Amino acid sequence: MDMPKDPVMLLSFINTQLRDNYSTLSDLCKAYDVSESEISDKLSALDYHYDLTLNKFI
């Protein structure tokens, strides 16, 4: 499955995957063969940033 291109849909997808399937952003990125910086850069444009403690973008 490809990740959504739309940043808002990507945010929802990533947080759902982190909640349901992956204990870290690193694990998710390895599974989808995408860099953490690519995800973080796209979501930071929406002013969302990864919180390691909560394991989600807030």
Residue 44 counted as domain residue = yes
pLDDT at 11 (0 to 100): 98
Is the Cα torsion angle 53, 41, 30, 19 positive or negative in sign? positive
- Mind listing the pLDDT tens digit of every residue in the chain (58 residues)? 789 999 999 999 999 999 999 999 999 999 999 999 999 999 999 999 999 999 999 9
| Residue 1 placed within a domain | no
pLDDT of 31 reads 97
CA distances from 17 to 32, 47 (A): 11, 19
pLDDT at residue 37 in the model: 97
Tell me if 2 is assigned to some domain.
no
Enclosing domain of residue 32: 7-57
Domain count for the chain: 1
> Is the dihedral angle over the CA atoms 19, 32, 35, 40 positive or is it negative?
negative
Residue 30 lies in a domain: yes
What is the reported pTM?
A: 0.94
Residue 21 lies in a domain: yes
Q: Would you say residue 24 lies in a domain?
A: yes
How much is the pLDDT for 38? 96
